[in-house]
A and B are shown apart, each in its own frame.
Chain A
Amino acid sequence: MKAVFGTKKGADAFRVLLAAVLVVLLLASLCALAACNKNEPDPAKERADAVTRLETNTLAALGEDWTPDVPRETLIRMPDCASYLEARRWVSLVAGVLSRSGLQTAKISLIADFAASEDGKRLLSDAANNADAVLGFVSAVGFTSGDVSEVGFELLRAVVTDVRELYVGLAEELEALRGSVVGDGQADIAAATERAERVVASFGDEDKAEESIADTVAALDEAKEGIGTLFAFAYDAERIFGTGESGEGLSSVLGSAAGGSGALAGVSDGEMLTWLDGMVSGLREFGASMTEEKTASVKAALKSVRECFQGFAQPVAAVGDAMEWLRVAESFADEIPTIVSYALSACNVIYERNAEDTYTYDFVHKLRLLAEEEDEELRTVNTYALGAELFLSFAERHDAAELKGWIRDMAKEGTGLKSALIYAFALMAAQAESDGDVEVTPDLVSMVSVLLTEVFGSLMDETWRKYVLFPEKYENRLRIVSGLVISFAESVNELNAGGVQVDINVSSSGPYDSEWYAEVMRIREETIRNAGGTDGEALADKATAVIGEYIDASYARIDELRAAASVGYITDADSAEATKLAEEVQSNPIFMVFAFFFMQK
């Protein structure tokens, strides 16, 4: 180094300089490390904060000055303290479900923010009483079908697991607070305490309830995937086809696709087909995923839920609406593969090809024109024309015998909504056939009995629930409705003299407790079975025969229907084509069904 730098001094100076540079570099590195070591946020804390904010904002939306931690001194002075305590428990239950779910923390924050907004407050305040408002809220915050699938299932599970405990805890809490409440809250809390105790009592024996809950939870866990799929599909369908708070409405979607705005403005027939194909593919995937095994497990789980909650007068109307929906789902779960298959067959008309094996686009073209149609008469006649094409496509793949066989299988179940629906159609068909009053035959009486019992049963469920919540107000109604059920049972026994009799061991006078209610429901179930006749098979055959005649009549007129529907899009409501189509609609029974499902707003 001396040789290079000439002198010892130079070498020393170089060493000092090198050391200084190294020290500076070291310091700079340390500073950089320190700067990089920023405080990273704690995900768990962020999530907990988001959930807390959600609870706070939701309670604030439900009640003025409601917060998650109202102090006792304030609580005892609140005029609606009981409602507050009940709402707080429900909000906590829902918040717990959201917290444990896979929902993004940021989404929970967004929900919390939305709950604080005017729209959110409006929807939340309706949500307790209106399942559609719940769906509207869920859709507004941007829940995907995957979210609904997961959170919906977990919420159902939580309700099954915790709702009894919720009301047990509430009753205890209210009882403990009862003596301390002052002012207007006194009457509220007294009534609420008793109501909570009745709600708990409506669940029945504690041990049996716990066992029932455990079985139900096990069944739910078994059917988790199926139920989730069902929820997701229903949510998507509601968003596409629904017209309330929750749905866009197919016509508005079609309108935007066919109209003059948006990224697919001026959509072509090919694009319309591609878009419809997307929806049909979704339906196909849903059908493929709901296998026989899966639908069976779903049905079993939902049945278990229904039985677990039978007699339980849960107070939240939206939960009641959801339970009713689940009852419908339970009834028709095992028909999903068939319904989907039939729907896909009908939708095959979209893919019609010509001799050159290219798409004709006839159906999609008419659908586009229909979406843009403003004349009501033309809209109606062309809707029937499209309905005819759907039926023709269906009929090419499924003959009358197959359809009748399916209906018969449904009718043979004998109980529940499914058979009630079959009998309702049979009665409608019979009425449509006759010029005046329908001849009252024992078979028709049986069908009416089943229907009425089903109707009375639903009415009975609703009345019982309301009685538990508000006994003074609904006691009289409970007496009347239970009286109808019991009287009807007695009438069926008379009609069935010599056959199987329903054991009627309670009266409409009460006492009105959970055992009494359970007995009334037993009487109702057995009456439905007996109302079907000792030979349930015969009634199913009769109903199928009635409906079958109309199926045969519909299939017999396929050629005429094809001719009437082949004229293309009708642009003159008074034209011969329109008249011919109208005649065909009136004479072809299938349009009765079509009108029932598709012609209502």
Chain B
Amino acid sequence: MTLWLALKNLKAKPLRTLASVLAIAVAVAMFFCMFSFEGAVYEYVFAVETADFGDSDLMIAAKSGGDRIALVQPLYGVEGVESVTPTVSVYALASAGEREEYVRLRGFDNGAVDSLGEVRLVAGDLSLRQDDVIVSEAMAEAFGLRAGDYFTVRGMVAGTKPVSLFVRGIAENRGAFAADSPYNVLGHASTVGSLLLAGGTVYNEIFIGVEEGADIAEVRERVAALPEYASLTVSECLDGNYISTRARNLASPVTIAGAAVALLSVAGVALVFTSGIRDRRAYAAKLTLVGATKKRVFAVFCLESAAVALVGAAVGAALAAGVFALMLRIVLSSAMTFSVNAGLLIASLAAGGGAAFLASLYPLGKVFRATARENLVGAPERGRAGIVLLAVLLVVTLTCLLVENLVPGAKGALSVINLLLSVACAAAAAPYIARFAGRMLARTSRPSAIAAGYSAARERKTAGSAQILAVGMTVSMLLFTAWSLTTSIFSDFTAEFERMILVTNVSSAVDTSEFTELDGVDSAHLMVWRQAELSADGVEGRSVNILGSADALGLADFACLTSREDVENALAAGKIVLDSSMRELYGIDVGSVVTVDIDGAARELEVGALVRHNLFNGAYVIVSEETLEGEYGLAPDTVVLIASDDAAKTAERVRSVFADRNYYALPALEAYEWDTRSLENVFDLIAALAFMLTALAFAVAVAGVTVGRAYSERTRSTLLCAGLSKRGLLGAELTEHALAAASAFLLALPVSALAVQCLVNALGLFGLYFEFMYNVVAALAAGLVVAAAFALVPVVFGFARGYDMRRR
């Protein structure tokens, strides 16, 4: 009987039920995405970063100024070495038809191309003849190749004729082909090695698997101590911190944005149920009058909420995988595969469904506080709980904001809390502002304005709409502002990279004037360019990019916090230069001593100066060549060119001129293509979430209006009977809507600015630092569009068609 009553109630209000189910479904789907996203991004980044070496633990490779090919035999006797996979890696110009492009050839012993990473074929097979190769789907598509076709590559030994390579198989862009920029071509070591040097097979990259239980660092030391590898780099393959940092950078904006969407969805559920509170009160009264106990009434409502929550959760679960897949494909790669973690899905169901269930029960407090008669007549509550709540929220929020901004080290988690508190304040204050505005409006002389004002002051629906819109507009403005903030920063960042060309595989003794003599090259800077880890008080193993030359100051427009001369002097004195975000995030300042670990060699270095630039989101260390040479024995291995015109054309020129030296010349934007593309996709996703959230907020507000209007039908009939024209009544509704929208807008604008500040501070949790920027235009546009759309709802939805003097 109880269940029957609950289901009957749901059927009686189909629109409300549908709106609630959808809101819960969105909440569950978004919760699942937020729980799973960082893990999936980590897996993707892990797959890309380990594509070259798979499960290997150590790598022996050439270093600038040292030998370029390596012996293999001595490794077999080293304690702790379980497996040795020698490879030869050569960059070459591949030609097929009209297309010519730099590719990376990797040669494996006996053509065992899947010895380091999975090769999943879509065509062909893996039984390679000596000059057979496996290419990726992406390369096959770019070059128009099928299995059985061939293409030519130009060898690195001057004067050798082009070599034809035959496509034996085409593989998916995963596993060994996950990092396919430039395109990877896998084949026999004998064939690939012959492009480097005729005669015997040579290897220039050797991957070592360490025995289970052995200490990787110790084995690395043992191998590095062998005289055969004295002039080569022996390093650990997997830089866990680097992968974590990259994954976090990619996932954090989406995690935050998605969390906002998820919470809003839950809030939407609460608001939908709250907007139907009168109906519920009347129903409760009727049940009480026919003899139902409070317990029975509570059970009916609980069952109703549970049914909605369960259906919503089920729909959300069905949507979750699809939404998750869409997000991953937008942010990462179309080749990305993922698995649905059942545990996380259940957790999302529980979180979304449970939160929605509890939110839907929230209005019941009012039902059981009032008497049956009050519930029946719908007497408005006169309690002060709302004001008390608002006051408390304001005090807490203000206090937390002060602590966040004035107490050093308080940013981070507190910023997240303050962000939520700010939005909560807007939600709490909006009804009161709407009611106040309504009372003011009721004092005017225009009948429709008076009607609107009275309605706003007394009816729950206007306050509810203002509340929903305040939250929605605030978060929407926040997201749109964040989108414009991040894309403008990103555009500046890519603009700096646009003219940069990276030339690797160079000798430390290379004469940079050879490059500057080329057309299109403005300047050439020889430097060390590689990853490192920075540690200090408050930060452990932060992945950074080494810009190893005093010349690095000329690469981008670094803003010196003191003077350029101070920075140059600091570098000359053997100190390092960091980004000012390090001070903001971790308190590292001039004079601090930090530990910089490069390829396993950790040294303590003093910070000599701070500069500011968005390069690598501030994760860089500028250090002079002399310091690197003295402290780490590292010689420059990269020439960074600044092109005067088209970087792609200049890079092409560099490749042609130096074709016989195995240089790898690539525009910086291409070199970091997958990072920049992923970041672009992240920002686009934020934009998508912003649009989605705006639409969701609008939909919830309209749903609330639709539900709430049902209770004011009598009032409208009365007004019509009293002589108000249909036009006047429409005008009143328009005014009422505009009032709710305006109240929300006036609140949302300043609160969103505050929220942006909190968001910027919260990103510090992920090691990201941005200076506060608030795009007023974006916020205004977002807010005004929503406000205007909501204000016009009575016209668009044809409210006037339903006006009738007859009272139902």
Seen from chain A, the residues whose Cβ lies within 8 Å of a Cβ on chain B are: 3-4, 41, 43, 46, 102, 104-107, 110, 142, 144-147, 239-240, 248, 253, 256-257, 261-265, 268, 270-271, 273-282, 356-359
- With both chains docked as a complex, state the minimum distance between the C-beta of A164 and any C-beta of chain B, in angstroms: 32
> Please, how many angstroms separate the alpha-carbon atoms of A230 and B200 in the complex?
17
- With both chains docked as a complex, state the minimum distance between the C-beta of A321 and any C-beta of chain B, in angstroms: 25
In addition to A107-B150, A270-B228, 11 A-B residue pairs with Cβ atoms within 8 Å of each other are A106-B150, A146-B129, A240-B199, A256-B197, A262-B157, A263-B157, A268-B67, A274-B67, A276-B200, A278-B199, A356-B227
Q: Please, which residue of chain B has its CB at the minimum distance from the CB of A232?
A: B130
**Dominant SS at the A interface?**
helix
Residues of chain A within 8 A of B166, CB atoms compared: 104, 106-107
Q: Please, which residue of chain B has its CB at the minimum distance from the CB of A277?
A: B71
Residues of chain A within 8 A of B130, CB atoms compared: 144-147
Q: B530-563 toward A: CB 8 Å interface, digit per residue (1/0)?
A: 0000000000000000000000000000000000
> Please, how many angstroms separate the alpha-carbon atoms of A280 and B71 in the complex?
12
In the complex the two chains form, is A105's CB within 8 Å of B148's CB? yes
Residues of chain B within 8 A of A46, CB atoms compared: 148
Partner of A264, one of B14, B129, B196, B231: B196
Partner of A282, one of B90, B156, B201: B201
Residues of chain B within 8 A of A256, CB atoms compared: 157-159, 197-198
In the complex the two chains form, is B660's CB within 8 Å of A263's CB? yes
> Please, how many angstroms separate the alpha-carbon atoms of A43 and B149 in the complex?
11
Partner of B662, one of A3, A43, A263, A357: A263
In the complex the two chains form, is A264's CB within 8 Å of B149's CB? no
The contact sample of 20 A-B pairs, CB cut-off 8 A, is A4-B15, A41-B146, A102-B129, A107-B150, A144-B190, A256-B159, A263-B68, A263-B660, A264-B157, A265-B661, A268-B67, A273-B71, A274-B67, A274-B71, A275-B69, A275-B200, A279-B200, A280-B200, A358-B227, A359-B227
Knowing A145-B130, A147-B129, A281-B201, say if A106 contacts B157 (CB, 8 Å).
no
- With both chains docked as a complex, state the minimum distance between the C-beta of B400 and any C-beta of chain A, in angstroms: 45
Q: Is B696 an interface residue (CB 8 A)?
A: no
Q: Is B465 an interface residue (CB 8 A)?
A: no
- With both chains docked as a complex, state the minimum distance between the C-beta of B440 and any C-beta of chain A, in angstroms: 35
Residues of chain B within 8 A of A358, CB atoms compared: 227
Residue from A41, A144, A147, A279 having most chain B Cβ neighbours under 10 A = A144
Q: Please, which residue of chain B has its CB at the minimum distance from the CB of A262?
A: B157
Q: Is B73 an interface residue (CB 8 A)?
A: yes
Q: Please, which residue of chain A has its CB at the minimum distance from the CB of B193?
A: A278
> Please, how many angstroms separate the alpha-carbon atoms of A181 and B542 in the complex?
89
Partner of A104, one of B148, B158, B163, B200: B148
> Please, how many angstroms separate the alpha-carbon atoms of A414 and B306 in the complex?
102
In the complex the two chains form, is B150's CB within 8 Å of A110's CB? yes
> Please, how many angstroms separate the alpha-carbon atoms of A147 and B166 in the complex?
13
Q: Please, which residue of chain A has its CB at the minimum distance from the CB of B156?
A: A263
Partner of B197, one of A102, A144, A264: A264
- With both chains docked as a complex, state the minimum distance between the C-beta of B95 and any C-beta of chain A, in angstroms: 14
> Please, how many angstroms separate the alpha-carbon atoms of A106 and B145 in the complex?
12
In the complex the two chains form, is B661's CB within 8 Å of A43's CB? no
Partner of A263, one of B14, B131, B661: B661
> Please, how many angstroms separate the alpha-carbon atoms of A264 and B200 in the complex?
14
> Please, how many angstroms separate the alpha-carbon atoms of A106 and B200 in the complex?
26
Residues of chain A within 8 A of B196, CB atoms compared: 263-264
Q: Is B597 an interface residue (CB 8 A)?
A: no
> Please, how many angstroms separate the alpha-carbon atoms of A4 and B15 in the complex?
8
In the complex the two chains form, is B201's CB within 8 Å of A240's CB? no
**Dominant SS at the B interface?**
loop
> Please, how many angstroms separate the alpha-carbon atoms of A142 and B660 in the complex?
20
Residues of chain A within 8 A of B146, CB atoms compared: 41
Q: Is B70 an interface residue (CB 8 A)?
A: yes
In the complex the two chains form, is B69's CB within 8 Å of A3's CB? no
Residues of chain B within 8 A of A257, CB atoms compared: 197, 199
Partner of B14, one of A4, A146, A275: A4
> Please, how many angstroms separate the alpha-carbon atoms of A3 and B191 in the complex?
73
Question: Which residues in window 111-133 of B have CB below 8 A to A?
Answer: 129-132
Residues of chain B within 8 A of A277, CB atoms compared: 71, 73, 200
Q: Please, which residue of chain B has its CB at the minimum distance from the CB of A141?
A: B164
Q: Is B345 an interface residue (CB 8 A)?
A: no
> Please, how many angstroms separate the alpha-carbon atoms of A107 and B130 in the complex?
12
Residue from A265, A270, A357, A358 having most chain B Cβ neighbours under 10 A = A270
In the complex the two chains form, is B157's CB within 8 Å of A274's CB? no
Q: Is B669 an interface residue (CB 8 A)?
A: no
Q: Is B768 an interface residue (CB 8 A)?
A: no
Residue from B14, B15, B71 having most chain A Cβ neighbours under 10 A = B71
Residues of chain B within 8 A of A262, CB atoms compared: 156-158, 197, 660-661
Q: B149-163 toward A: CB 8 Å interface, digit per residue (1/0)?
A: 110000011110001
- With both chains docked as a complex, state the minimum distance between the C-beta of A101 and any C-beta of chain B, in angstroms: 10
> Please, how many angstroms separate the alpha-carbon atoms of A193 and B5 in the complex?
109
Residue from B146, B150, B157, B197 having most chain A Cβ neighbours under 10 A = B197
In the complex the two chains form, is B198's CB within 8 Å of A253's CB? yes
Q: Is B202 an interface residue (CB 8 A)?
A: yes
Residues of chain A within 8 A of B73, CB atoms compared: 277, 281
Residues of chain B within 8 A of A102, CB atoms compared: 129
Partner of A142, one of B90, B164, B197: B164
Residues of chain B within 8 A of A281, CB atoms compared: 73, 200-201
In the complex the two chains form, is B660's CB within 8 Å of A261's CB? yes
Knowing A144-B129, A278-B200, say if A261 contacts B231 (CB, 8 Å).
no
Residues of chain A within 8 A of B158, CB atoms compared: 256, 261-262
> Please, how many angstroms separate the alpha-carbon atoms of A106 and B129 in the complex?
13
Q: Please, which residue of chain A has its CB at the minimum distance from the CB of B128?
A: A146
In the complex the two chains form, is A275's CB within 8 Å of B197's CB? yes
> Please, how many angstroms separate the alpha-carbon atoms of A176 and B549 in the complex?
85
Residues of chain A within 8 A of B190, CB atoms compared: 144
- With both chains docked as a complex, state the minimum distance between the C-beta of A314 and any C-beta of chain B, in angstroms: 30
- With both chains docked as a complex, state the minimum distance between the C-beta of A114 and any C-beta of chain B, in angstroms: 11
- With both chains docked as a complex, state the minimum distance between the C-beta of B74 and any C-beta of chain A, in angstroms: 10
Residues of chain B within 8 A of A145, CB atoms compared: 130
Q: Please, which residue of chain B has its CB at the minimum distance from the CB of A43?
A: B148
> Please, how many angstroms separate the alpha-carbon atoms of A264 and B155 in the complex?
12
Residue from A263, A273, A278, A281 having most chain B Cβ neighbours under 10 A = A263
Q: B479-500 toward A: CB 8 Å interface, digit per residue (1/0)?
A: 0000000000000000000000
Residue from B69, B131, B231, B661 having most chain A Cβ neighbours under 10 A = B69
Q: Enumerate the 5 nearest inter-chain pairs by beta-carbon distance, A residue then B residue, closest first.
A: A278-B200, A279-B200, A263-B156, A144-B130, A263-B662
In the complex the two chains form, is A104's CB within 8 Å of B150's CB? yes
Q: Please, which residue of chain B has its CB at the minimum distance from the CB of A278?
A: B200
Residues of chain A within 8 A of B150, CB atoms compared: 104, 106-107, 110
> Please, how many angstroms separate the alpha-carbon atoms of A78 and B787 in the complex?
95
> Please, how many angstroms separate the alpha-carbon atoms of A278 and B191 in the complex?
13
Q: Please, which residue of chain B has its CB at the minimum distance from the CB of A103?
A: B129
> Please, how many angstroms separate the alpha-carbon atoms of A357 and B228 in the complex?
11
> Please, how many angstroms separate the alpha-carbon atoms of A253 and B129 in the complex?
25
> Please, how many angstroms separate the alpha-carbon atoms of A236 and B79 in the complex?
35
> Please, how many angstroms separate the alpha-carbon atoms of A253 and B200 in the complex?
11
Question: Which residues in window 656-699 of B have CB below 8 A to A?
Answer: 660-662
Residues of chain B within 8 A of A274, CB atoms compared: 67, 69-71, 202
> Please, how many angstroms separate the alpha-carbon atoms of A265 and B197 in the complex?
10
Q: B61-82 toward A: CB 8 Å interface, digit per residue (1/0)?
A: 0000001111101000000000
Residues of chain B within 8 A of A359, CB atoms compared: 227-228
In the complex the two chains form, is A278's CB within 8 Å of B201's CB? yes
> Please, how many angstroms separate the alpha-carbon atoms of A104 and B147 in the complex?
10
Residue from A4, A278, A279, A359 having most chain B Cβ neighbours under 10 A = A278
Question: Which residues in window 159-185 of B have CB below 8 A to A?
Answer: 159, 163-164, 166
In the complex the two chains form, is A144's CB within 8 Å of B148's CB? no
Residues of chain B within 8 A of A278, CB atoms compared: 193, 199-202
- With both chains docked as a complex, state the minimum distance between the C-beta of B130 and any C-beta of chain A, in angstroms: 4
Knowing A104-B132, A142-B164, say if A264 contacts B68 (CB, 8 Å).
yes
> Please, how many angstroms separate the alpha-carbon atoms of A253 and B149 in the complex?
31
Residues of chain A within 8 A of B132, CB atoms compared: 104
Partner of B131, one of A105, A144, A271, A357: A144
